[in-house]
Amino acid sequence: MKKILITGGAGFIGSHVVRRFVKKYPDYHIVNLDNLTYAGNLANLKDIENEPNYEFVKADITDGELMNTLFKKFQFDGVIHLAAESHVDRSISNPMEFIHTNIIGTVNLLNAARLIWENFEGKRFYQISTDEVYGSLGATGFFYEHTAYDPRSPYSASKASADHLVGAYYHTFGLPSVISNCSNNYGSFQFPEKLIPLVINNIKYSKQIPVYGKGENIRDWLFVEDHAAAIDLIFHKGITGETYNIGGHNEWKNIDLIKLLCKIMDRKLERTAGTSEKLISFVKDRAGHDLRYAIDSHKIQNALGWKPSLKFEEGLEKTVEWYLTHEAWMNDVTTGDYQKYYDKQYGKR
Ligand code: NAD
Ligand code: DAU
């Protein structure tokens, strides 16, 4: 039996990765380590919580001693590290939390692995990272695995720093690691501070849709289950010391994506065509807002045979349907501190 540590498994992407591994690998013991911040939610894993090969541990990766103790106790064979502060806007209002969790937290895990793994045979430390470490593109071009890091927000700088530390532990100590850098994910269980679930929820309640700047920024969207499939492949077949870019070859200007969502929502909610678009409200731009991200994912496609499974329109339709049919989940995550966050970020609208 393999013991696999997945950090941040109660979050958006982590919950999809945990579910995939628990279901697909009954002979693995999957330990989901998460300290359940505002973004972590055990309801995301309700369907697999009683599986015999699944275990949840509530713990904070910024506690180095605790990480050493847990590594000693469980004797993990592999680590898939997703735990992070993940929202760019929050990193602008509170950078220190990102420094602690994303940098110190990652180093604590690297130190624990280095300390406890007596030899590195058969071991793997997999760092889940983002395309935002590469900075911002102009109208053309792509991010490649060899593109130099040029992070521009406290979030992306903290992720870049963590990636460099993973690379440093590989080169200096031989700690067997692999890194992937993925583009924007969408799908079920995403916290509605992120664009797509926020827009769906606002339209549902006829609240204004906040579009930063002119809505001309471009993101490359990927269905979250396709990201989980890529993570599975890289964890098992990726080459130690290498980096893999993951993306959907699916660029959308924010305003075009929002208009598409408006159309889908009008149809699903049986509202007159054009109703939702009237909610669009152009607001103050995000500070340092990166213009465009676009991933070249030929390496993972050619080397590991991965490709996105869903067309975007199909995935978006599925996603809208999921949020509309999971009202209790949405109500649950938008009570408490969410409203406070929302009012601070957008003002009362
Ligand atoms: P998320 O915010 O939904 O989930 C993060 C999880 O980490 C939560 O469950 C949270 O409770 C946990 N966590 C935070 N701080 C912790 C700590 N100190 N100790 C233990 N657990 C902690 O994030 P997400 O969108 O699922 O992203 C997961 C990872 O994937 C992150 O590393 C992110 O940088 C990366 N990533 C995200 C995207 C995206 O589009 N969302 C794209 C590429 C890469
Ligand atoms: O590219 C990968 C990254 O994608 C991940 O590393 C991050 O963890 C993840 O949060 C995401 O970052 P973005 O900043 O691109 O995602 P977000 O959903 O916050 O914003 C998407 C775009 O929409 C961005 O250009 C900002 C814009 N936006 C966002 C919000 C929340 C708006 O116009 N209005 C909004 O209210």
pLDDT, tens only, 1-25:
799 999 999 999 999 999 999 999 9
Report phi then psi at 55, rounded to 5.
-145, 135
User: Which uninterrupted H or E stretch holds 80?
Assistant: strand 78-81
Amino acid at 293: Y
Q: Where are the alpha helices (DSSP H) in the chain?
A: 12-24, 64-74, 88-93, 95-98, 105-116, 154-173, 195-204, 224-237, 254-268, 298-304, 312-325, 327-333, 337-346
**CATH placement of domain 2-186+221-246:** 3.40.50.720
pLDDT, tens only, 228-243:
999 999 999 999 999 9
pLDDT value at 349 more than 60: no
How many whole angstroms from 8 Cα to the centroid of ligand 1?
Answer: 6
Q: Which residues does a 6 A CB cutoff place in the pocket of ligand 1?
A: 8, 10-14, 34-37, 39-40, 60-62, 82-86, 101, 105, 128, 130, 159, 182, 184-185, 191
78: tokens are: 């592999």
Compute the Cα dihedral for 22, 28, 29, 33 and give only its sign: negative
Instruction: Please report the pLDDT score of residue 160 as a whole number.
Output: 99
Distance, C-alpha 315 to centroid of its chain: 17
State the closest ligand 1 atom to the C-alpha of 87, by its place in the atom list counted from 1. Answer: 2
State the closest ligand 1 atom to the C-alpha of 62, by its place in the atom list counted from 1. Answer: 18
